[in-house]
Structure 1
Amino acid sequence: MRKSIIASILASSILMAGISSGQGIPRRQKDPIPASVETVYTKGLRYLANTQNDDGSWSGTYGNYPGVVGLCVLAFLAHGEDANHGPYADNIRKGLDFLLKQQKESNGYIGNSMYNHGFATLALAESYGMVEDKRLAPALKNAVKLILTAQENNPKGGWRYTPESNDADSTVAGCQLVALLAARNAGVPVPDASIEKGLKYMASCRGSNGAYGYTSRGGGKPTLTAIGSLCYSLSKNKDAKGFQESLEYLKKQMDYRDKYYPYYFEYYMSQALFHADEEVWKAWNEKNVRYLSTIQAADGSFPGNKGQTFSTAGALLSLALNYRFLPIYEK
């Protein structure tokens, strides 16, 4: 039986005691899953399961990057897979084992970039309440601490490629904010000031039309706007200045496909629209399901210049709002 994931993350021994006392498992809404979604998703999961390496990573372009491994773990969990006894339990555990072994003991850093660290942290956060592994709690606590420390040392209040970066951009900053918001949503104490500072940086990249640029208000793009909009939704700031302008901008991009990062766009666009306006998401989702159904290979993978592993995980996660098992998908 598929199970959703307990939104529980450890930040201290007191919090751990509270979580261990037991929490109810949230159930997804009883909306029927379209057969076309289930077909695409199950084929994609079989591909990821069949191509995983023994060490938990994947071969090919970016397959051994912690961020990509984290997205693959999320793809399994987002389908409601049982991480302890289900058919993909071994895949989930091997993926998490890989992430845990990549974390530096000295500072909690996972991988060699904040992209990798952010997505890996999100995977740990969404896994903690479901997977029985004593290593997850301290690893997650240290991963969150590194994100907060990196922001404290960043004069812009954001994040970029490394924990020591003095500049910032909306993609890396958005990735860290989502990880922090997932942690806070699940119970980890994340200072309001840290979220507010991160959102302030994101706002500095938003133009008057609601579109977000990379490092400034200029050059707004749909993918960046989806990231920024999602951060405001998850932080419960949909009444903030500029949010509606961003939604209106995204509503004009319903047929957009990012030429360079198509699955990165779809991953964020699906979440941004779902949290901002579910009716708009439904319209976009129908188009996305049809599109992905036509480009999925016979083996369940998806093509892309960033490697089949990343492409497949990103494509599946863009469909995951149909299931709504992950805590990060809760409104």
Structure 2
Amino acid sequence: MRFLILFLFVSAPVLGSVRAQGEDEVKVDAETERIINRGLKYLAKYQAPNGSWQGRNEKERHYPIAMTAYALMAFQAAGHLPGEGEYGREVSLGVQYLLNSVSPEGLIGDKNNGQYMYFHGVSSIALAELYGQTSNPAIRTKLERLVRIIVSSQNENGGWRYKPTATDADISVTVLQVVALRAAKNGGLKVPQGTIDDAVNYVRSCYNKAKGGFSYQ
């Protein structure tokens, strides 16, 4: 497990290129495919008119940005892109909801939410992955703003915390930002190498040799 996160981060493009040359090792049987399709059908059924997903109770409705981003990643993983596939319309609406939620300065959703950077990170991942597959300039414009916020809000330890002006960091928020930056970089956006290096050093600092894993901070 040592430095597993670092290994996945650094080697992702290499592993991806190797797998692309051979047969996909992941096999989805018919029963699993049915379960996936039922899950996507459920998500499509409960999408809000504005394109978001907001949950089905009062507590869940506080997190539409994150829930929309996760839902979009589920559709994308099953091959549904904006305007493409059985759920192309739902994906298009969800993407537009996220894009409409990005402010001119690059914040998305409610910046005063106590766990803001979680939402920022996961929505950046969703949009970066979608941009990588569509090259949609409208997505890139907003994604560049999101990336600038991630870069500018990295703290002196190399990590991120709940707010974009955090003075400390934790590994769960940090990993979301790192994955978002990597996805953005894979799509051709500029990401400062120093930001990546500092993030790697922070993750290394969270490694607990005695337990063989990573601590929260």
- Letter in structure 1 aligned against 2:153: A
Q: Partner residue of 1:33?
A: 28
Residue 161 (structure 1) aligns with: 162
1:27 shift after superposition? 9.2
Partner in structure 2 of residue 326 of structure 1: none
Cα 1:72/1:163, change in 2 over 3 Å: same
TM-fit CA distance, 1:135: 2.0
Distance 1:135 1:56, change over 3 A: same
Q: Per the alignment, in what secondary structure is the counterpart of residue 80 of structure 1?
A: coil
* Equivalent residue letter for 1:55: N
Instruction: Give distance in 1, aligned partners of 2:180 and 2:103.
Output: 18
Alpha-carbon contact 1:83-1:130 (below 8 Å) kept:
no
After the TM superposition, list the runs of 4 or more consecutive aligned residues in structure 1 that deviate by more than 6 angstroms.
Answer: none
TM-score (norm 2): 0.79
1:50 matched residue in structure 2: 45
**d(CA) in 2 for partners of 1:131, 1:65:** 23
Counting only pairs closer than 5 Å after superposition, residues 12-27 of structure 1 correspond to structure 2 as: none
CA positional deviation for 1:132: 7.2
Given the superposition, is the C-alpha separation of residues 179 and 132 from structure 1 closer, same or farther in structure 2, using an over 3 Å criterion? closer
- Please say if 1:108 is aligned against 2:110: no
Q: C-alpha offsets along residues 281-302 of structure 1, whole Å, 9 cap, x if unaligned? A: xxxxxxxxxxxxxxxxxxxxxx
Higher relative contact order (CA 8 A, sep 6+): 1
Q: What residue in structure 2 maps to residue 180 of structure 1? A: 181
Residue 126 of structure 1 corresponds to 129
| 2: CA distance, partners of 1:155 / 1:129 | 30
- Of 59, 62, 78, which aligns to 2:60? 62
After superposition, what is the alpha-carbon deviation per residue over 1:243-294, rounded to whole angstroms, capped at 9, x for unaligned? Answer: xxxxxxxxxxxxxxxxxxxxxxxxxxxxxxxxxxxxxxxxxxxxxxxxxxxx
**Cα separation, partners in 2 of 1:82 and 1:172, compared to 1, 3 Å:** closer
Q: Does 1:143 align with 2:143?
A: no
- 1:146-169 deviations in Å (ceiling 9; x for gaps): 101111xx1211101111111100
Aligned residues: 187
Residue 194 of structure 1 deviates from its aligned partner by 1.1
1:119-151 per-position Cα deviation (integer Å, ceiling 9, x unaligned): 101111111144475421110111111101111
2:83 is matched with which residue? 84
Cα 1:128/1:207, change in 2 over 3 Å = same
Q: How does 1:200-279 map to 2 (within 5 A)?
A: 200-208=201-209, 209-215=211-217
Amino acid at match of 1:175: L
Structure 1 stretches lacking a partner, 5+ long: 1-25, 216-331
Compute the displacement of 1:206 (Å). 1.2
Match of 1:190 in 2: 191
CA contact (8 A) 1:170 1:205 kept: yes
CA RMSD of aligned residues (A): 2.0
| SS of match in other structure, 2:118 | helix
What is the CA–CA distance in structure 2 between the aligned matches of 1:128 and 1:76, rounded to whole Å?
Answer: 14
Q: CA deviation at 1:186?
A: 2.5
- 1:128 is paired with a residue whose SS is helix
CA distance in 2, matches of 1:103, 1:68: 15
Hey, what's the Cα distance between the residues in 2 that align with 1:29 and 1:96? Answer: 31
